[in-house]
Amino acid sequence: IWQCGGSLEIHPCSHVGHVFPKKAPYSRNKALANSVRAAEVWMDEYKEVYYHRSPHARLVRLLVWSVA
């Protein structure tokens, strides 16, 4: 199941995987800042669910959006 062009697609024969590198090419702080940006831009009223599950992200939001 994935979102594709505004619709939810189900393809039973598809496979999804991920290969993890030995070392992440980014810092955790940058990854958290990017997830905050995604929540702010795309999640509308559901971003509060994100902030409830990741309360530390709310502090990052203040830093990220105060610079922008």
Whose CA is closest to 61, among 28, 39, 43? 39
Average pLDDT of the residues in 41-64: 87
Q: Report phi then psi at 3, rounded to 5.
A: -85, 135
User: What would the mean pLDDT of 56-62 be, rounded to a whole number?
Assistant: 84
Q: Judge contact between 39 and 47, C-beta under 8 A.
A: yes
Q: Return the domain boundaries, the chain.
A: 25-68
Which two three-digit tokens encode residue 68?
Answer: 């922008």
| For range 16-35, the mean pLDDT | 80
Is the whole-model pTM more than 0.75? no
Q: How far apart are CA 35 and CA 37, in angstroms?
A: 5
